Amino acid sequence: MYTDDDTLALFTEEGYDRTFEMNVKVSLLMSQAFVKQCTQGGRIVHLSTDTAQRMAGQILYGASKASLEALTRSMAIELGPKQITVNTVAPGPTQTGYIDKELEKLVMPTIPLGRLGKPEHIAETIAFLVSDCASWLTGQVIQVSGGHGV
């Protein structure tokens, strides 16, 4: 979630706690609960963003998503012996109603495929990751971004 105070100069401890709780702590707790009840393999899919590693102006959000991507890789190693795959989907600019015409004009030149993503693009990738077709895919951050942020 973008806020004007998500910069190095302006972030607050409260903002840090809120952002990391939502993006990291909740994912950890949900994954832990899943693993406790999982007896025969399974799938964990986290959600990040395609520019998690470089988000000036959204420093807390970017750092929290980068942390989630690191957790994905570590969890994949830890949970592999239990046949649980762990991956992250990192969407690019996706039209969910927040991208107005002005923002669209700014972002379109940065998308090699020349179009905004749709929620279905993200959902289809997640459906693949939880299917048997992805049973040997783990520890990956998959950018679903039309080439944005590559």
Reduce the DSSP state of residue 3 to 3 states and report it.
coil
The 10s digit of each residue's pLDDT in 33-54 is: 999 999 889 999 999 998 888 8
As a residue count, the chain comes to 150
Catalytic residues, by residue number, are: 61
Question: Which CATH number is 13-144 given?
Answer: 3.40.50.720
Give 5's pLDDT tier (boundaries 50, 70, 90): confident
The DSSP secondary structure of 65-92, one letter per residue, reads: HHHHHHHHHHHHHHHGGGTEEEEEEEE-
Give 56's pLDDT tier (boundaries 50, 70, 90): confident
Cα gap 86→133, rounded to integer Å: 14
Cα gap 104→115, rounded to integer Å: 9
Higher pLDDT, 58 or 77: 77
Specify the long-range contacts of residues 51-57, CB closer than 8 Å, at least 24 apart: 51/92, 51/148, 51/149, 52/90, 56/7, 57/6, 57/7
Cα gap 72→76, rounded to integer Å: 6
Cα gap 93→47, rounded to integer Å: 14
The 10s digit of each residue's pLDDT in 67-113 is: 999 999 999 999 999 999 999 999 999 999 989 999 999 999 999 99
Cα gap 14→23, rounded to integer Å: 14
